[in-house]
Structure 1
């Protein structure tokens, strides 16, 4: 598989806004790609896109749910100030520094506006305490959401006319969502979870092109609201038949876990919410090894997935985790060029040998 097979799709997915609870643009791209590759598609009550691949063994009790999430780290308007600036709360776990100060898209009900996420002038003193607190030579506090705001350049009346108010979603602006290529690596915001989505679609296309079927009925699920507690994934696992859920994610490439961004797929044996089933993890490791990859086993901390939320909530009998090795997860994320094909290859191997 060459880079050209997946890069255009990845670029399109990265450019689509998909804040938690408002993933429509990403879902539309996925549905267009998924429908020719599976036996049935539908959108469930939680907004998840579901595709069914009928298996050789039609025993519903042994069905597999493979999950990759549509949503991205984003922001929510908490209040509109009298001067038209916006105060925010995060949708997902990150600081403003994860995104960097700069342009944001304000997804109003009637219009999408551009604003600027800003802290204020560094050329200020202790009198401007909100700014002073974040200066490394002064207050030395980590920049948090209480310190920043969005400058809109619009009046409250103009914002109301655009449908902007408490509950409006904001995303990193399109101007900052370009896929960069350097050496053997690709970089962008929101590889989480657009790169695993791409891998899942590549896996489905590979199975169609090779005319192979999964051993058991398999639901490919593109989930909503993962970044705020695995909400869509929990609904999908509760309502779809099967005994196994596997989440596809970005995984931290860090010395703490003996994982590297140049290595093979990361197979999770545990995270902050659950211990993944050893038999599932071992099988994923074998599939990657048999495909000539170099899988990396990891027990992850400060990490959750749709699968671990489902297992911790008693919604899944068994759970697994497969990750793309990624630098700077929840920031400006970097993956190896070969990571997406490697994940797709491992998924195909697992589904056809379960």
Structure 2
């Protein structure tokens, strides 16, 4: 059941902030090359592997390499860094603690900090965020990164406005939650990437797919689906199918203990019903108890592509995930389940349901 775990952990340890996904890209290329007929990196930085099939329309399957991260906004003379987010999250999603500042020459370990709890109104930045005082939600202007270095030392390390800041590798180890679950930061979208790579291996070992399958590990999904949009526009095919984490909340009727989530819509588009129905049907055939969902406050590579008229059809398959964009939790079987549904779907993506 956990044969995928070493690969998932390797992907989690690799830093991959938006626009700087090099370490993740290297792993994806290494894993994808033996399983496809051709693999390459496109001008947008996407990793693409194509498995040649028959004469049916091609399918583009996407999972993103980038992660939620931070961007240096300015640097004080004493070496303090002030940040802005890359993606939708707040300091509370990550918590205070060690971060990796990816300098041009050196990676610097810093500490995401708010300041001392033992303060009064004379420290208004801290005071206003205390629940028993100002009761203001903690936001990026309230926190900073302590580096222990001077401004000159940071310049020598290649740290400047625009430098990416990531949750430190020391906080990226998978943990077992209960008997049946795994937890870590950045399962979005490293868990789905793992499922994509497992699917490529499984599909390679079976019958030739009816059409070409393009496996696409995309860039910059968290800031607008940029890599996925470029791939949808430039690669052949009539369908873009995104693999993602899926929120498990009462408003959607989804549970982390349930089967794969199939989205019928999100904040950007209505997914093609025929595609969603086919995914549901495939998961049903496998006995995986799929969960249909109408998602709000959610976007994907596929919905960006559909909303931008870059693909005629779009679909979204998700791993049920607790606390998306935070310390995320999935079931042990969620990755194999996604890979199995995807493999079955790609072996006959255009079959009508019913």
2:319 maps to which residue? 324
The CA deviation at 1:213 is: 2.5
1:190 maps to which residue? 186
1:156 maps to which residue? 151
Does 1:204 find its partner at 2:182?
no
1:249 maps to which residue? 244
* TM-score, normalised with respect to structure 1: 0.97
Aligned alpha-carbon RMSD (Å): 0.7
Counterpart Cα distance in 1 of 2:39 and 2:248 = 34
The CA deviation at 1:82 is: 1.1
Counterpart Cα distance in 2 of 1:14 and 1:144 = 25
The CA deviation at 1:212 is: 2.3
The CA deviation at 1:20 is: 0.3
The CA deviation at 1:214 is: 2.0
Counterpart Cα distance in 1 of 2:54 and 2:75 = 55
* TM-score, normalised with respect to structure 2: 0.97
Q: What are structure 2's unaligned runs of at least 5 residues?
A: 350-354
1:30 maps to which residue? 28
Q: Deviations over 1:201-252 (max 9, x none)?
A: 111111223x322221110000000000001111010100111000000000
The CA deviation at 1:63 is: 1.2
1:10 maps to which residue? 8
Within 5 A, what are the aligned runs for 1:69-108?
69-108=64-103
SS in 1 for 2:211: coil
Within 5 A, what are the aligned runs for 1:307-346?
307-346=302-341
Aligned length: 348
Q: Deviations over 1:26-45 (max 9, x none)?
A: 01001100000001000000
4+ residue runs over 6 A deviation = none
Counterpart Cα distance in 2 of 1:78 and 1:40 = 40
Counterpart Cα distance in 2 of 1:214 and 1:102 = 47
Counterpart Cα distance in 1 of 2:315 and 2:53 = 19
Counterpart Cα distance in 2 of 1:226 and 1:127 = 41
1:228 maps to which residue? 223
Counterpart Cα distance in 2 of 1:341 and 1:212 = 20
Counterpart Cα distance in 1 of 2:49 and 2:102 = 28
- 8 Å contact 2:99–2:111 — kept in the other structure? yes
Within 5 A, what are the aligned runs for 1:235-274?
235-274=230-269
Does 1:280 find its partner at 2:262?
no
Q: Deviations over 1:334-354 (max 9, x none)?
A: 000000000000000110012
Counterpart Cα distance in 2 of 1:72 and 1:96 = 15
